[in-house]
Structure formats: structure tokens, C-alpha cells
Amino acid sequence: MAPWHDQAIFLEVRERFVRLVQDRTAERGSQWAAIEAIAPKAGCTTETLRRWVSRAERDAGQRLA
């Protein structure tokens, strides 16, 4: 598999988990609760997922840098 293909898959998976956090925040009562519930399923730490979400929010103009 080519390295660019691996990167594309990683970005797609990361975006999917970020969207899942955004979708589940209301159900869980807070963004942090959603992150805690989803991070194990994503195979990453809560801090990693929190950073992904934070970066996505900054990129979308929803959060200050």
C-alpha cells in the first residue's frame, strides 16, 4: 500500500470519529463525555481524540486558535 493511501485512510477515519463526537455531544451531555465514550472505540487516548476535535473546530472557524 502506498504511503499516500495510508494517510488518506487515516484522515478519513479521524474525520469520522470527530463527526461521531460532534453527533454524540448532545446525547452525552458534554463534549468530554462523548470523547470519553468514543476514544476507546477509536483506538486512541481521550487526549488524542480531544485534539482531533479541537483542530477540526479551529479549521471550521468554530473555535479560536
What are the pLDDT digits (tens) for 5-64?
788 888 999 999 999 999 999 999 999 999 999 999 999 999 999 999 999 999 888 776
pTM for this prediction:
0.81
Question: What's the confidence (pLDDT) of residue 2?
Answer: 57
What are the pLDDT digits (tens) for 44-56?
999 999 999 999 9
- Spatial distance between the Cα atoms of 46 and 50, rounded to a whole number of angstroms: 6
Assign 62 to helix, strand or coil: coil
